[in-house]
Chain A
């Protein structure tokens, strides 16, 4: 069963408008934070909630906020990562389309907590239609005194700017996003320094995913403990999962963290389509290791549970594959993606994904041998952990996990040839 918190207004008529948002108790969290809480108390409440970054990495949000040096004389920035582009993930789009004020309220509370006067929403250029929706919502919020000078009659002042990207998966990586927002190519930066200390324009900056910010008003209104209790001890709250691929009812479903993966696929998404058997699931966006049907059986949708089940929670993009799926071909599809999206900065990722793609292409054309599979296996550890940002790892994990868990799908594409003897 779904537990609708962030998505509860999705079916409300006119859910985008501030009138409807206010009628449902909207902006109560912002008012509460501004009039009854100190910024540090807001951060404490978020820490208590066990909210973890919903963009994929799952870093504890309150801790991230806590890294911002409050005494720094530099301006502080809050940046919303709306560059949703992890294959299999389409939840932020629906959050922004159907309840933009929820996001705006979350951003304003974060800005208050972090002593920031400027928020940027970095939205992928493909989501152009959402820019209008967001800007209209920001204008409405301004008319109601929630954006701009002296918000809710307090000393808090904050502006929100919507910034369009222009087609680059890598800009979903927070430091690449910051470079892109500064007007440069979207190359990731080496960390440390982390954005909390030196982010946008070298100033303290917090970058969080859309869904993460959307959870904040609920935490402030109901309390961190209440939110945490919705999920598990270490993975607080609810999470939206985008279920796609071979299911009867693809869509976004919000459930408590700790919910059984199998139940999400069977009940919410209506099971594997055509009554076919489940073969595999990529559970957290394309960058996480693939799972076998057997691994899916016991897996629970929380950060620890998914690690235990041999994968990761990631961004919550659950890609379901039935027993007709050729895992070699789906892996080929993904290496094409990572090769295309590699920003070209680090050699292991740029050259490595090129070589991987060449080998997959060769095998797909029927010219591959078992020696090529060995070469792929040798290439992967030369990319993993050797690039500035996690794109290199993300390119490799789907391959290594697929080759290990579905070896027969790879072997059937190649001719047996003795592997070259290592010197």
Chain B
């Protein structure tokens, strides 16, 4: 597995311009914290400490403020997520339509439990609460993409075609 990226590795003039453009949208700078978390996470696959420091500096906050806010939100990670983050919805509509079967199937196929990552860092499996795909239950997201009306076979087909 490759060494996790630090924010310094991805910080370019363009990225910094994008950060500044985000901050400029808000009457108060601190409002930009969630979009900046996403910016850093999408660039690094997680939010490394130097990424938090970058955000703190940009927004005039201390590291406590940044860390405190970050840890409230379930989509934000302080360790590398993995190439493909499989987020299987477990809540009521998906539950009624067979998400438990999908979970067992994914556990077997990937050899990991929810909350874990494959040793090569390719897949992370997370059981998430309602993702707003209830009419397409059972559903999952891989990174930001939605997959709906799933069956174990469909899940296999989807994973097989991932680059």
Contact = CB atoms under 8 A, between A and B. Distances in A.
Contacts of A27: none
Nearest to B37: A166
Interface in B7-43: 25-35, 37-38
Contacts, number: 144
B69 A319 contact: no
Contacts of B34: 125, 163-166, 180, 183
B135 A341 contact: no
A147 to B, nearest CB: 13
21 contacts: A88-B93, A88-B134, A90-B135, A93-B132, A165-B34, A166-B75, A166-B76, A167-B74, A183-B28, A183-B32, A186-B73, A201-B27, A244-B93, A244-B96, A245-B97, A250-B134, A282-B92, A317-B134, A336-B90, A337-B129, A337-B130
A182 B33 CA distance: 8
Interface string A181-215: 11111100000000000000100000000000000
Interface in A138-180: 161, 163-169, 180
A340 B69 CA distance: 17
Contacts of A127: 132
Interface stretch (A32-40, A42-50, A79-87, A403-411): A79-87
Interface size class of B (residues with CB under 8 A): 35 or more
Contact of B73 (A84, A161, A167, A340): A167
Interface size class of A (residues with CB under 8 A): 35 or more
Contacts of A228: none
Contact of A128 (B74, B129, B144): B144
B92 A88 contact: yes
B92 A286 contact: yes
A205 B96 CA distance: 38
A27 B129 CA distance: 37
A252 interface: yes
Given A126-B144, A165-B34, A340-B129, 12 more contacts: A87-B129, A87-B134, A166-B73, A167-B76, A168-B73, A169-B130, A201-B28, A245-B93, A245-B97, A250-B93, A286-B130, A321-B96
Contacts of A93: 132-133
A319 B27 contact: no
A341 B27 CA distance: 29
B72 A185 contact: yes
Task: Sort A-B residue pairs by CB-CB distance and give the 6 closest, nearest first.
Answer: A167-B75, A183-B30, A167-B74, A166-B73, A244-B93, A244-B134
A126 B132 contact: yes
A190 B37 CA distance: 27
Contacts of A128: 144
Given A125-B75, A167-B75, A246-B96, A183 B69 contact: yes
A321 B37 CA distance: 39
A92 B132 CA distance: 9
Interface in B119-153: 128-137, 141, 144-146
A129 B144 contact: yes
Contacts of B69: 183-185
Nearest to A324: B96
Contacts of A282: 92
Contacts of A334: 91-92
A319 to B, nearest CB: 6
A129 B33 CA distance: 20
A336 B74 CA distance: 15
A89 B27 contact: no
A1 B133 CA distance: 23
B91 A286 contact: yes
Nearest to B93: A244
Contacts of A186: 72-73
A298 interface: no
A88 B35 CA distance: 27
Contact of A333 (B25, B35, B75, B90): B90
A75 B137 contact: no
Contacts of B90: 333, 336
A165 B95 CA distance: 25
B96 A325 contact: yes
Contact of B137 (A181, A245, A341, A343): A245
A401 B132 CA distance: 24
A330 B29 CA distance: 43
Contact of A182 (B30, B134, B135, B137): B30
B136 A124 contact: no
B68 interface: yes
A243 interface: yes
Nearest to A334: B92
Contacts of A310: none
